[in-house]
């Protein structure tokens, strides 16, 4: 699965790992971790969209997946540093993520946000990954 491959790749990337250690989560920050987040940045990933190409003879194995990465930190600079690390790890990536053959990776958009209630800065990045799901 692509989400497993993305997690595997990001958790082993030296630039990302140096900033978040093992604080990479699917969909949301776990409640127990949210209290300790005030000390360290973290990364949250979610799959937004998957498109499979329909052809005359069936569905193509080349799939387009859109992922959102949320880079959280207690400072604006911290969120920007984590976003820069994820950009460096993913932009124009081609190769294997876990067991998934990734053909192309593109940064589609990037936006700065603030979460005033917990006092966190966030950079939202949307990446497009083309990958093979052929059996």
What is the structure's pLDDT at 135?
59
Residue 25: pLDDT above 90?
yes
Rounded percentage of the chain residues whose pLDDT exceeds 90: 69
- Per residue in 102-115, pLDDT (tens digit) is 999 999 999 999 98
- Per residue in 44-58, pLDDT (tens digit) is 999 999 887 776 666
Rounded to the nearest 5 degrees, what angle is found at the Cα of 123, between the Cα atoms of 84 and 99? 65
Strand segments, DSSP code E, in the chain are 24-26, 42-55, 58-73, 95-97, 100-115, 120-132
User: Which of the residue ranges 44-53, 57-66, 88-97, 122-131 would you say has the lowest mean pLDDT?
Assistant: 57-66
Mean per-residue pLDDT, 24-35: 79
What is the structure's pLDDT at 38?
60
Domains of the chain: 2-132 (3.30.2000.30)
């Amino acid at each position: 699965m692509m989400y497993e491959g993305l997690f595997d790749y990001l958790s082993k990337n030296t630039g990302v790992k140096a900033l978040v250690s093992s604080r990479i989560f699917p969909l949301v920050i776990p409640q127990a971790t949210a209290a300790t987040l005030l000390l360290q940045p973290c990364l949250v990933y979610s799959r937004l969209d998957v498109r499979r190409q329909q052809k005359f003879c069936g569905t193509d194995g080349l799939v387009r997946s859109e992922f959102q990465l949320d880079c959280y930190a207690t400072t604006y600079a911290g969120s920007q540093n984590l976003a820069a690390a994820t950009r460096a790890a993913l932009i124009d990536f081609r190769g294997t993520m876990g067991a998934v053959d990734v053909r192309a990776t593109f940064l589609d958009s990037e936006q700065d946000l603030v979460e005033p209630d917990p006092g966190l800065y966030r950079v939202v990045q949307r990446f497009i990954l083309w990958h093979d799901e052929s059996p």
